[in-house]
Each structure stands twice: as structure tokens, then as C-alpha cells.
Structure 1
Amino acid sequence: MKAILDLIERHRAGEPVGIYSVCCAHPLAIKAALRHAREAGGQALIEATSNQVNQEGGYTGLRPDGFRDLVMGLADEAGLPRDRVLLGGDHLGPNAWRAMDAGEAMKRAAVMVADYVTAGFRKIHLDCSMSCGGDPRGLSDAVIAERTATLCERTEAAWKDAGGEPPVYIIGSEVPVPGGAQEALDELAVTDPDAARATIEAHRQAFVRHGLEAAWERVVGLVVQPGVEFDNHHVVDYVPAKAEKLSASIEGQPHLVFEAHSTDYQSAAALAALVRDHFAILKVGPGVTFALREALWALDRIGQEWQGDDRSASLRDTVLAAMRDDPTYWKPYYEGRGAELDLQLQYSLSDRIRYYWPTGRVARAVRRLCAAFDADPPPLALVSQYMPAAYEAIRAGALALKGEDLVIHHIRETLTPYSRACDQRSTH
């Protein structure tokens, strides 16, 4: 984690530098992030959430060591040295078990955080902000901080047993809901600076009570709400003036920066402004898998036009059928019917499709789609119609006419504003 510590030191010294975190478990999205880091410079920070990856497999079926092996294997394929790959855990806490009583949920969370650290994850976001069974609807800073310190004890013990670099920590009680907002966006408020300071102090006291003073020195980031969010169809853009007081409030906290979640779909200018204003860690997740879906939909349409419906992989139909057969991951978020629901299932910015890519029939359809594209490449005119940026790259000799390469190229278009905003190239 020396890379993160050095970057934060540079940022606190006045350089407008940061790091972006790709919070995604899809192999093609991870490949894109790794290849982008190789070519753009800097580190690839890849994070898994507690819902994606945990000791029970999460919705990906992967435990922390399995996710580590997946990422590192893909890094080897991409030609990115492993020492430039940083692994992080996002929203690590009782979220996956919040329907249980708090005691049981925290026991399971403690096993999970230890497994993450043992597997080599060293950027750890400890998030105990959610209510569990038997809890009041909203938790106080004191309760959140106490639970956070309890989990930190487990991560520190796991690190000491495993050896290697010590972990760095992200804390914060004003944590956006993973995957986009469910509340009305017009009610979105920037974190009050006094609330941010109170959160920091509550956690500092809890760490001291638990004898974690050394770990407190490695708390590098605070999650707050800078005024950015998205829901199914709308994006709230960053307005620097609204976050001016919050931005200034971190200047009195040595070794700390803000971590901004839900930066998906922000403009390049907004991302650069966030980094400048001390939101030096930018998280992106659904925006990456949304780009993945865009690219695969384009390939599917190219295949239908080029090969005909009978020979095409019918990816879109396969995905929608899988989503309708198992509405678990989208039912609480989408309220449309008929054509409106069809649009939400496919094009919602919260991108609930990301839960269905690991499904057997969906994964097979993706493989068929890319294999058919490579075996019988379409005319470039069709690529130009559905993927104009990829067409230009192919014409320039910078991109091969391969299905997977086109998908990765499209995802990298989403990551380019992040790497530019963070100015990672200056670290090499």
C-alpha cells in the first residue's frame, strides 16, 4: 500500500493527484482496467464488495482468495506487473447479512474481513453504517465507530498472521448505497463539515479504546457525500461550490483525503474537480459494467445483422430471460411494467444486469457471441454503425477486429476520464 500512502502524501502536499478504484467483478471489466493501467500508467486499484465476494461466495461465487487469483491471473495476461495491482475490499461489514441480528451479522463480517486481509487485500473499507436485525433504523456515529473498530481488530490480527504490508483503511458513516440511489435525488445533500469531523472523532476514539492507535495512523480516507449520485435514469453532477466547505474541512486532518463513491457517469471536468477538491479516491462500479453491457449489446446487434437471427448468440434475449426468471436482484429497484420495465432492465444506470453475467446461460451466450464474431468478422461498416470509437481505433491500427478487444476498448473509454483526472501518469 506504499503506492497509496505516497499518493496521499503528494496530494496533501498540494499536487492535484488521486487514484480511481474499479469496483467490479466481471473478468472483461477487470481486464479493461488492468490493460488501461498498463498503457496509461500508474496502479490498477481493483475492489470487490462484500456482496460480490465473501466467505460464502457472494453473488459471483468467489471467496476473497479466488477473486485475488482471478485478478492476478488477468494481470499476467495483460502484461501488468503484479506490484502495480492493488486489491481493495469495499463496504466490508455486515451488509450481506443485515437481515440477521447485529451480533450474528458482525460475526460473519469479522470472518469476511479476516479472509480479505489474509488473501492479500490491503485497502480495506470498513463499513458498518447499515442497520441489522434488531437495530434502530439509523445508527449513531458511536455505534458505527464501535463496530468498525471491532472489525479492525480482526483485520489487524489477520495481517499480523499473514505478514506483508499493513492494510490501509477507509472509514465513514455517510456511505452511499452500493449501486446507485433509491431515494429522491432532489433530496441529496452534501455532507456537513461538522458531521464529517464528528465521524472522524468518533472513529478515532473507538480505535483508541480498542488499542488500535497504530491502525489509526493508516486510516487514509473518509467516505462522504460530495453531492454526486445517480439513480435509474438521472445523474447529479458535482458542483464544486456546494462542496467548498466540506472540501476545506479535510485540510485540518493529517494523512486523510476523501473517498467519493457513486462517481459513475460524472463528466471528465467533474472528476478532475473532485480530485482537486480533496476527493482523491474516486470509486466507479456500475458505470463500468454499464459500458460492458453497451459493448455487448452492440456486438449482439452486429451479429444479428451480419449472421442473421438463426446464427446469432441472442445475448440480449438470453440476459432478459435470465433476469425475468430470477428477479431477486432487480425487483426492489425497478417499478415499471411492460415496455417501461424492458427499458429499466436494460438501460438503468444502476445496471442491475451486472448480477446476471455469472449466470451459466448468460456466460455461455457471451462466449458464443465473441467466438462467432472472431470466426466470421463483420464488415467494418457495421462496426462503425454500432461502435464508432472502436471503428476509428481499428482504422488507426490501434485495435484488432476481435470481439473481446472491442468490448475492452469500449470500457476503457469510460476509464480514460478517471486516469486523466487522477493524473496517474505523473507517478511513472
Structure 2
Amino acid sequence: MQTTFARFAALRGETAFRGVTSVCSAHPWVIEAALEQAKADGGTALIEATCNQVNQEGGYTGLRPADFRDLVWSLADRVGLARDRVVLGGDHLGPNPWKSLPAEAAMDRALAMVESYARAGFTKLHLDCSMGCAGEPAALGDSVVAGRAARLAARAEAVAPGATVYVIGTEVPTPGGATEGLDHLVPTAPEAVLETHAVHERAFREAAPSAWERVIAMVVQPGVEFGHEDVAIFRPEAAAALSATLRRLPGLVFEAHSTDYQPGQALRELVRSGYPILKVGPGLSFALRETLYGLDAIAAILSPGGDRLFDAMEGLMLARPQQWRSHYAGTPDEQRVLRHFSYSDRIRYYWPEPEAVAAVAALEQKLAGRTIPPTLLSQYLPRLAERVADGLVDATPKSLAIEAVRDVLRVYAGACNGAI
């Protein structure tokens, strides 16, 4: 069985990079789509959970790392993908969920989280200690960030020695999308990359020397991001100096966050330029939501007067605004549109809620046993209508949603230059 380190070492070849799609989602249908895609490609499914989604206290999904692992493995068994072709990753692991606490209290929780991830068999960990905790500045110095990350690595090594690869670096787009205009984006400065690498090497060699040899990637800002209604497309010429720093960092690659909504050519250029780990999350759940809302419109035509999925989600988000209120500004009408249709897709936080699960199940029930007229599929789900007509996809909500997510993943697969 190929080790996680060997898989990621293969990303950097002698003359070219090979890419891998990092799927950052806890939605079972999105995960199932990623596993189906890996099965079709003949490669590895890299499925990652974030510190806020999944942690030892349950996160916003209610899942602990072992629960998330069991979910992924059960879905892999269902689609017929061998478990040894699944790599589990943890994203932004650090004190962020507890940053309102004093630093040591927050780090104690972060250490417990990393331990729970390592015990559950997660073998790719992005360590992110960039955020200030109570009484600290919002942005911390490199030495503090690196020292805390090394402590997390040491805890993972104590639990699962030699099993894990690590990603360092914290100059990343805002998780889940920007809340401001994108005209300010500047790729990470080459000198900042070299300094971050040097500071982390010193910290790791002191606190977790065995882990340093398995640091396989660094997170940087190559100039990609998405806002509520626009996307900053990768321009390789703007990031040329940043990309060139990899010549001075043997064995390392860059990890690109927030690659959602990038066109295929931009994704290919990211891989070619040294950013072969392509993280995507909101772009996948956006495709799932588009499909569910298309089916919601179809169901309303076939059975007028019933409850609508849109209305159920609107009521849920208004009742519990914590996940969107600080992200969506504007008038009440503008906020309503953003709640459902923003690229940042804050609605994804609500799909695990019991009310949302029940609303989706009700939509499935409305359409169960009914033949959806091809004219309605053409109207509301035109990209999928022909495949339904050809018998390639079943006209059920789950099948259509998974196919829509796979359409996004196929673009990533086309950019990755061969499965790992």
C-alpha cells in the first residue's frame, strides 16, 4: 500500500507537477461524488475536514474526527472505492475554533484536536496557528506561528509516528471566500515564503524533528479568490516570482486554497506553476445547492402549493444567522439573495441542520416515483437534461446532485495531469 508521503512526493516530478483535488466538504453527497470521481479516475480521493466542521467537540457538523472517518469510509465502501485509495486530511488545524480564549487554553484544545485527528487516521494535516487569541494581536509573528505549529506536529507524531504529512503556511484567502473587493489581491512575496520556511524549519527541528522531513507543502496566496459575486482568476505571470521560489525549496510544493470557480485553464496553470494541491469546497456545495433549487422549482410546478425547500432554508438561516450575518452586508433584499446565491455559499453550514435534512427529504419524497418531464429538466437543469434523456443519470435528487458536483470535479481532474 502506497504511503501518504509517497503519494504527495509524486506531485513534484523532475520536469512537471501532477495535481490532486482536495475536497473540503462534510456533505455526504459531495463526499460521495468525490469518491465516485476518484474511482473513475483510478486515483486517490483526498477528503479534508476543517477545524470548524469537525473537531473533538463535534464542530458545526456534530462530527468528531473518528465519526467523519467512518462516514467517508462507509461511503467509499458503498461506491466500491478501496479504503487505501482514500486520504483523509485536516485543514486549518489550530486554535481558531477557540481563539476567544487565552492562548494556552486555546492551544490545549488545538493539541487535543490534532491528537484526535491523528488517532482517527488522518494523514495530511494543515497546521494553522496564524490567528491571535484573547489578548493577542489579530496577526502573529512568524516565530510564534511556527512554534505553535511545531507543537501541534509533535503531538501528532506522538500519536501516529511517521504516518502523517504536514502542510505549513498561513497566508491564505479568507476561509469560505472574501468579504471585500478582490482588486487588492497580491501574490505572496518570495522573501516571505523563504522566511516562513526557514522559521518553521527551526521550530520543527527543535520541537518535532521527525516531522520536518514530511512537510510536503506550504500554503501561499497565488492570486486566487472569490467573493460574493466575482472571482479572481489565476494569472501565472503575476505569480511567476512566487512560483520560482520552489527552485530553492526541494521536495516542496505549494497548496492553493479557495480555487473554487476557477476555469479549467486557470486550474491547469496552477498545477503547472507549482500549486498542485487544489482545494475546493464551496464551489462543490454551490453546485449541489443549484441542483436542489432547480428540483425545488420543478416540484413546485408538478405539485403546486406544497412547502418549498427555498422557504425552509430561508427560515432556517433567518432563525440562526450566526453563519452568515457577519459575511453578508447590504439591504434586507440584498442579504436575502446572498444567503442563497453567493459564491461564498454560507448556506453550506446549514445543510446538516435537522430542519434542512427534513426539507431535502421532503423534496425527495415529492419527486419519488414521478417522471420529471424533459421540458422541465431542460428549463431548470439544462446541463443534466441530456444525460437523463440518454439514461446516463437517474432523475432523482441525489443522483442529479452528485452528477452536478462531479461536473465540477471533472474540471479539476482535467487539470491534475494524471491521478496519484
C-alpha contact 1:374 1:403 (8 A) present in aligned 2: no
Q: Which moved more, 1:43-52 or 1:183-192?
A: 183-192
1:232 is matched with which residue? Answer: 228
1:377 is matched with which residue? Answer: 371
Are 1:168 and 2:165 matched, yes or no? yes
Aligned residue runs from structure 1 range 37-76, under 5 A: 37-76=38-77
C-alpha contact 2:323 2:346 (8 A) present in aligned 1: yes
1:316 is matched with which residue? Answer: 310
C-alpha contact 1:9 1:255 (8 A) present in aligned 2: no
Aligned residue runs from structure 1 range 8-87, under 5 A: 8-9=9-10, 11-87=12-88
Residue 4 of structure 1: CA displacement? 5.3
What do the CA deviations read for 1:60-101 (whole angstroms, capped 9, x no partner)? Answer: 000000000011101111111111111000000001111111
Q: 1:10 to 1:315 in 2, by over 3 A?
A: closer
Q: Which residue of 390, 394, 399 maps to 2:388?
A: 394
Q: Which residue of 175, 180, 187 maps to 2:177?
A: 180
Q: Which moved more, 1:11-20 or 1:266-275?
A: 11-20
State the AA in 1 paired with 2:149.
T
Distance 1:35 1:9 in 2: 22
Aligned residue runs from structure 1 range 110-129, under 5 A: 110-129=111-130
Q: Which residue of 187, 191, 195 maps to 1:190?
A: 187
Aligned residue runs from structure 1 range 214-293, under 5 A: 214-293=210-289
Distance 1:397 1:14 in 2: 42
Q: Which moved more, 1:375-384 or 1:112-121?
A: 375-384
State the AA in 1 paired with 2:237.
A
Instruction: Name the structure where helix makes up a greater proportion of residues.
Output: 1
Q: 1:195 to 1:142 in 2, by over 3 A?
A: same
Distance 1:386 1:406 in 2: 12
2:148 is matched with which residue? Answer: 147
CA root-mean-square deviation? 1.3
Distance 1:31 1:9 in 2: 25
2:354 is matched with which residue? Answer: 360
C-alpha contact 1:173 1:199 (8 A) present in aligned 2: no
Distance 1:292 1:14 in 2: 37
Are 1:325 and 2:319 matched, yes or no? yes
State the AA in 2 paired with 1:172.
G
Aligned residue runs from structure 1 range 345-356, under 5 A: 345-356=339-350
1:411 is matched with which residue? Answer: 405
Residue 55 of structure 1: CA displacement? 0.8
Residue 7 of structure 1: CA displacement? 4.5
Distance 1:191 1:107 in 2: 30
State the AA in 2 paired with 1:193.
P
Q: 1:367 to 1:154 in 2, by over 3 A?
A: same
Distance 1:266 1:51 in 2: 24
C-alpha contact 1:336 1:344 (8 A) present in aligned 2: no
Q: Which moved more, 1:280-289 or 1:176-185?
A: 176-185
Amino-acid identity (%): 47
What do the CA deviations read for 1:115-149 (whole angstroms, capped 9, x no partner)? Answer: 00100100000000111111123211111000000
State the AA in 1 paired with 2:235.
V
Residue 308 of structure 1: CA displacement? 1.6
Distance 2:20 2:339 in 1: 31
Long gaps (5+) in structure 2: none
Residue 200 of structure 1: CA displacement? 0.4
Residue 230 of structure 1: CA displacement? 0.9
Question: What SS is found at the alignment partner of 2:112?
Answer: helix
Following superposition, which runs of at least 4 residues in structure 1 exceed 6 angstroms of deviation?
A: none
Q: Which moved more, 1:117-126 or 1:415-424?
A: 415-424
State the AA in 2 paired with 1:235.
V
Distance 1:423 1:370 in 2: 37
Distance 1:8 1:275 in 2: 14
Residue 324 of structure 1: CA displacement? 0.3
C-alpha contact 2:4 2:163 (8 A) present in aligned 1: no
Residue 110 of structure 1: CA displacement? 0.2
Long gaps (5+) in structure 1: none
Distance 2:123 2:144 in 1: 25
C-alpha contact 2:37 2:409 (8 A) present in aligned 1: yes
Distance 1:102 1:46 in 2: 29
C-alpha contact 2:12 2:251 (8 A) present in aligned 1: no
C-alpha contact 1:230 1:262 (8 A) present in aligned 2: yes
Are 1:203 and 2:204 matched, yes or no? no
Question: What SS is found at the alignment partner of 1:185?
Answer: coil
1:296 is matched with which residue? Answer: 292
Q: Alignment length, in residue pairs?
A: 419
